[in-house]
Amino acid sequence: MSISLTILGCHSATPRTFAYPTSQFLSINNEHFLIDCGEGTQVQLRKHKVKFSKISRIFISHLHGDHYFGLVGLISTFSLYQRQTELHIYGPKGIKEITELQLKLGKSFLSYDLVFHELGSKKSELIFESDKVSVFTIPLNHRVYTNGYLFKEKIGERKLNMAAVGKIKDIDTCDYQNLKNGKDFILENGTVIKNEKLTSNPPPPKSYAFCSDTSFYPKIVPLIKDVDLLYHESTFLESDAKLATKTKHSTASEASTIAQQAQVNQLILGHFSSRYTDESLFLKEALNQFENVVLAKEGLVISI
């Protein structure tokens, strides 16, 4: 599995004993990310046995408390455990000031370096890239500056066809990496054997789009086109569409419309308002526009 997503929290701001605000742990191609960090994230990480020492980067969508109030606590805990590797934090302008002020007034001294990447562009931009993964912002339409995030695997190495490779005595194990990288093989007599005869295509790269708090915003459709997995907020049901418009949130129907227009493979609904006691109504509403829908819930793990 190249992508594994653990839902740590998926409800809106009003606290409840059985529900936590937004936070997710994403493993993609052996990179480990935290997406949003609502209050109680540390508890959820422990409860669901997520090894949070692996987290290298934290992506904060916006500066509403239910999406980042757990951040300084997690940062402090890392230090209590004597973390040494630097921690990268991506979020709107202001995230650095807020975090450093909390640490300063609490006279908290960290055992590691914090590296902030403050965001302000209203256009999608590449904000992180490794040899395995790329991360892009997804500008959203909320009451404050807000980004979703698009996580994309890079195309992997080609797969060796060992039956074909084994028939050619000139090929040694030291040649395998060149073949995986797509290079042709040249025999000692100068004959060129095309790479596609010795290898097969790698699996198609996977992608995950996280769309945090936002009103119905079709402008994101080209950015998330054909993603394997989409999380889209659905704070309200269509019966409260006027309230959704007023607060710049989405209904389940609107979220599923975005999924349908973007032709994604699977949709996860989340950020449910506490006014609803029956969350199955969100699923029922979304299925009118899109077939492959699941409801987020704390502890849910989805792997691709």
pLDDT in tens, 10-63: 999 877 888 999 999 999 999 999 999 999 999 999 999 998 889 999 999 999
DSSP code, position 225: T
Q: Is 299 left (phi over 0), alpha (psi -120 to 50) or beta?
A: left
Q: Kindly give the pairing relationship between strand 185-186 and strand 192-193.
A: antiparallel
State whether 281 and 195 are in the same domain.
no
Could you say which of 66, 170, 175, 278 is catalytic?
66
Are 67 and 151 in a shared domain? yes
Active site residue 66: yes
Q: What is the mean pLDDT of residues 162-175?
A: 89
Residues 223 and 166 in one domain: no
Distance from C-alpha of 304 to C-alpha of 284, rounded to nearest angstrom? 24
Judgement on whether residues 73 and 174 belong to the same structural domain of the protein:
no
Burial 41-72 (b: 16+ CB within 10 A, else e): bbebbeeeebebeebebbbbbbbbebbbbbbb
Same-domain status, 207 and 196: no
Share of the chain above pLDDT 70, in %: 100
Q: How far apart are CA 165 and CA 152, in angstroms?
A: 31
**Domain edge (last residue) among 200, 231, 259:** 200
> Is the same domain home to 218 and 74?
yes
pLDDT at residue number 258:
98
Q: What is the tally of structural domains in the chain?
A: 2
List the domain range (segments joined by +) for residue 181: 159-200
Task: Tell me: do 271 and 221 sit in the same domain.
Answer: yes
Whether residue 71 sits in one domain with residue 169: no
pLDDT in tens, 228-244: 999 999 999 999 999 99
User: Same domain, yes or no, for 188 and 210?
Assistant: no
What is residue 157's predicted lDDT score, i.e. its pLDDT? 86
Residues 104 and 238 placed together within one structural domain of the fold:
yes
CATH number of 110's domain: 3.60.15.10
Shared-domain flag, residues 151 and 176: no
264 with 183, same domain: the answer is no
Cβ neighbour number for residue 303 with a 10 Å cutoff: 11
